């Protein structure tokens, strides 16, 4: 962390030192601690106070194994002391609508986005709250590899889908922090595109070098285009081609 920074706070320190941790000690994580962390996280912003999210806490080893298979055989999912499934949830909204003679059965893109953003805000707040008490973890976006099987494992009803998961535990092996792009590559003032590097070429080349150097320093295989090359391979062809149809089956119409 840059010691020359003017602002200092526990939250800034937590975020500036945050890393994804996939290995945990055998020390138990108390149920009441997870509940306290989640209760605090539920104070995250929510659009129009709709609170369109639910969280499923998973500790059962059989379920964790099933989830690991559905998320690309990620061993840290199977080994996690605690797995939290952050879900977009329209069921309470539907009950409120029915109580007033209305329905969200034909929900559109807006409601799907709002509930997804709500779940994401609670997830990040949970991550920060967990870090503040010494827990560490990693987000699991691969729950969207197969939303239907994940819904079956978690017993999710119609109008609920898992946006992402989170492994949590007491840290065992904490990796070296990965560099991010420089803030000047991401922050825009007054309007978008007021960088001297307007097409982003210089930004990408510089970040490729930084990330490649990081991977080399931790003995991880890398290439000179470590970020841009990986992004190109990851998103062409597009991943999760059946995701829209799967979410529609779960009750979310993103058309």
**CA neighbor of 226 nearest in space, from 241, 214, 236:** 214
Per-residue pLDDT, averaged over 214-239, amounts to 93
* Cβ neighbours of residue 159 closer than 8 Å, sequence gap 6 or more: 89, 90, 91, 94, 104, 250, 251, 252
Is residue 50 scored above 70 in pLDDT?
yes
Poorest-confidence range of 2-16, 20-34, 111-125, 130-144? 2-16
DSSP states of 32-49: HHHHHHHHHHTTS--GGG
Alpha-carbon gap, residue 80 to 19, rounded angstroms? 16
Summarised one tens digit per residue, pLDDT across range 234-254 is 999 888 989 999 999 999 987
Q: What is the mean pLDDT of residues 94-105?
A: 90
Average pLDDT over residues 162-167: 98
Q: Where are the domains of the chain?
A: 10-175, 183-232
User: Domain 10-175: which topology?
Assistant: NADH Oxidase (3.40.109)
Query: What global pTM score does this model have?
Result: 0.93
Q: Tell me: the pLDDT tens digits for 171-217?
A: 999 999 999 998 888 888 888 877 666 667 888 999 999 999 999 99
Q: What is the mean pLDDT of the chain?
A: 93
Give me the pLDDT at residue 12, please. 95
Give the pLDDT score at 199. 66
Q: Is the pLDDT of residue 1 over 60?
A: no
**Residue 77 near residue 62 (C-beta atoms within 8 A):** no
């Amino acid at each position: 962390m840059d010691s020359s920074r003017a602002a200092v706070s526990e939250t800034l320190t937590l975020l500036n030192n945050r890393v994804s941790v996939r290995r945990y000690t055998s020390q138990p994580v108390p149920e009441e601690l997870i509940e306290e962390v989640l209760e605090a996280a539920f104070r995250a912003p929510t659009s129009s106070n709709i609170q369109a999210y639910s969280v499923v806490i998973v500790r059962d080893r059989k379920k964790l194994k099933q989830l690991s298979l559905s998320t690309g055989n990620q061993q840290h999912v199977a080994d996690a002391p605690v797995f939290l499934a952050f879900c977009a949830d329209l069921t309470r909204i539907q009950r409120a609508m029915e109580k007033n003679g209305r329905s969200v059965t034909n929900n559109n893109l807006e409601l799907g986005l709002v509930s997804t953003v709500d779940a994401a805000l609670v997830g990040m707040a949970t991550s920060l709250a967990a870090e503040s008490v010494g827990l560490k973890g990693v987000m699991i976006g691969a729950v969207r590899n197969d939303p239907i099987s994940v819904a079956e494992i978690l017993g999710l009803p119609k109008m609920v889908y898992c946006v992402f998961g989170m492994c949590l535990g007491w840290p065992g092996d904490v990796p070296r922090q990965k560099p991010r792009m420089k803030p000047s590559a991401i922050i825009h003032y007054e309007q978008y595109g007021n960088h001297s590097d307007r097409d982003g070429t210089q930004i990408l080349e510089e970040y490729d070098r930084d990330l490649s150097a990081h991977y080399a320093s931790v003995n991880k295989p890398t290439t000179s285009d470590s970020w841009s090359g990986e992004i190109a391979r990851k998103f062409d062809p597009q991943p999760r081609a059946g995701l829209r149809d799967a979410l529609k089956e779960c009750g979310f119409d993103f058309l």
